[in-house]
Structure 1
Amino acid sequence: MSDIATLSRKTDFPGLITATGEPWHYLDTAATAQKPKPVIDAMARALGEDYATVHRGVYSRSAEMTLGYEAARRRVAAFVGAKSDSEIVFVRGATEAINLVAATWGAANIGEGDRIVLSTLEHHSNIVPWQMLTERTGAVIDVCPLTEDHCIDLDALAEMLTSRTKLVSLAHISNVLGSVLDVRRAAYLVHSVGAKLLLDGCQAAPRMALDMAAFDCDFYAFSAHKLYGPTGIGVLWAREEILRDMPPWQGGGAMIDKVAFDGTTYAPAPQRFEAGTPMITEAIALHAAIDYVAEQGVEQLLQHERALAGTLREELRSLNSVTLFGPEDSAGIVSFALQGVHPHDLGTILDEENVAIRAGHHCAQPLMEHLGVPATARASFGLYSDESDIAALMRGIERTQRIFG
């Protein structure tokens, strides 16, 4: 167990205490993370005494809020290792980020007969936007298989890539299995045929250090709410030269240079992709969330959660009639099935024990089909998790086994 268990104080997270004052064992961080007090306080201030619009007002509070909003963009740029803050586009979440790329870069660069490569383990948000694009363009989706230990098979990917491949879009970390992609090798393979690489970083951003230069990808997307920040905001990083040539997606205020009825000119990136009043308070809170994670030691997060996942896998393996999915070195996510017990039933019983897990297909139905199950139970850890959460989960599972006998 890493030292982060003592660094990440559960008392920083008001949501980890029930209404009766008992601990709530929250094991659904892969869906959305609990929020620490500094994030809650930052958003409350932004909604209250600091609140004003940005970019438009000439009064002092608007100017101050604009500085705070753009400071958040710079903080995100530093967090992901961007070349400049002009590579950071604020969106509503990773889903919108992927849709934006599909609707702009994809529509301009992918045509009939071109190939888009996804993998078996992708989240629906990294499948459906590309299907919608192929319906409009006549492009074709190829599906990269998994290895025996449920990682994306990069050897198979190498065999699938051709000169007609224009985009490869893959999860950096699987939201179901916790398997981690070798992004450097993936980027090398993808670029060897002149294609672009998009990474869904929703599960990686809260768990590991990000470095766009080292990753060598072309697009990277993640959501703030999985990074201990608020809902309603996410990030699309893209190479500056790619963003510069991408057409706008949504039209309206803020994304323009000059509007006239005989023609409109657009603002440069990233403003070109941020139509309307932006997510002002959410950006301020995202800044606070990144600062909080940095204070905990971002390099330790993956080690901490991987250790907890390893401990849980050992505990589950000791029980009869438990099937484990995913690799042994899972990044803080453990999916499993309990023989004779539907995951929804398990989740309901665990809830009675103040234990929260996820039960279902986790927005990854093609992966469920590959695994041969309709659903799994999923326990996912955060920086606030510790072995007491595992102990509570195991007590609940043992109670479930007694009930279903």
Structure 2
Amino acid sequence: MLKQFFILCSGADKDLLAGCSEGEQTKYVGIGATVFFTAVMAFIASSYALFTVFDNVYPALLFGLVWSLLIFNLDRFIVSTIRKRDRFGSEFLQATPRIILAVIIAIVISKPLEIKIFEKEINTVLLKEKNAMALNNKKEVATYFKSDLDKNKTEIDTLRSEIMQKEKEVNALYETYITEAEGTAGTKKLGKGPVFKEKIAKHNLASAQLDSIKKANLAKIITIEKNSQTLQTDLDKKVTASQPIIDSFDGLMARINALDKLPWLPSFFIMLLFLAIETSPIIAKLLSPKGEYDFKLEDLETALKATLEQDKYLRGLLVSTSATMHDKVYQDITQDKNLYDLQRKNAANLLELQSNNFVEKQKRTL
């Protein structure tokens, strides 16, 4: 049962191969087994690749099954269409397009399995890239809000500077009228004279202005700080909202790019392994000598070709002979006097009808 299945996978004619030796059958069983297991590897590779894309096992398995059947059909077609020739050069030339197709299939199959084999190393590379992306994202978002935050900070510093300057002015006026009362500065007269009253009035006025400035500026500062807090909240929200996008940077293309950043030699040898598996049936058929199955298949093909050429030649003779006979028959008919008289009579009647019809038309136009 298994032997018949692998013969089916090889694309060989099972009825023709049944009459061949056991060794010839074993050769095609090996070729069919290679084709089958290549399709199995294609199923595993494509299923894993699609699982990294959809993160759902059922679509991945469904697509993996379709892809493996496609690869199986292609491999079976490639192997079954290679015919043994009398010269190796013509055989190789015939197999060249199929070898190129096998190389492409091997690369497509091997890449997802390489990703799975080096999964831990790829996760490390992706983690570094995610961290770098998160830092860059924070910088970009902070740069986006920086102008507004800096503007608010500058306004707050300006308002506080106004308050501090007015406080310095009030403190200076306070110092002035105290020293005037003590007689240590100004008029240097002890007591609260007219100059003292003038200076304390200036202090009181400046103090009232300070209170007014404090009240107005502090209200503005509170409003600006609330605005800054809102901007900071929006900044944090934007960073938080974009973080899931960075965390989901784990798709197939990201893993392929991460794989390219790892040392190339291990990945290269894995690809060579699949390349050897994929091209082995073709190489085996190219290197193996003509076997019993090849001779029988060639005999059937040449017999069919000879039959078709003979049929084509006979059809040509039939057409040529039939044409010659029809030409002779019609030539003999032209010599028949009865047919000639009948044709002459009919022509005369037709001419008479045409003449009468012409006369009637002429009459109607008069």
TM-score (normalised: structure 1): 0.20
Between Structure 1 and Structure 2, the one with more strand by share is: 1
Greater Rg by CA: 2
Between Structure 1 and Structure 2, the one with more helix by share is: 2
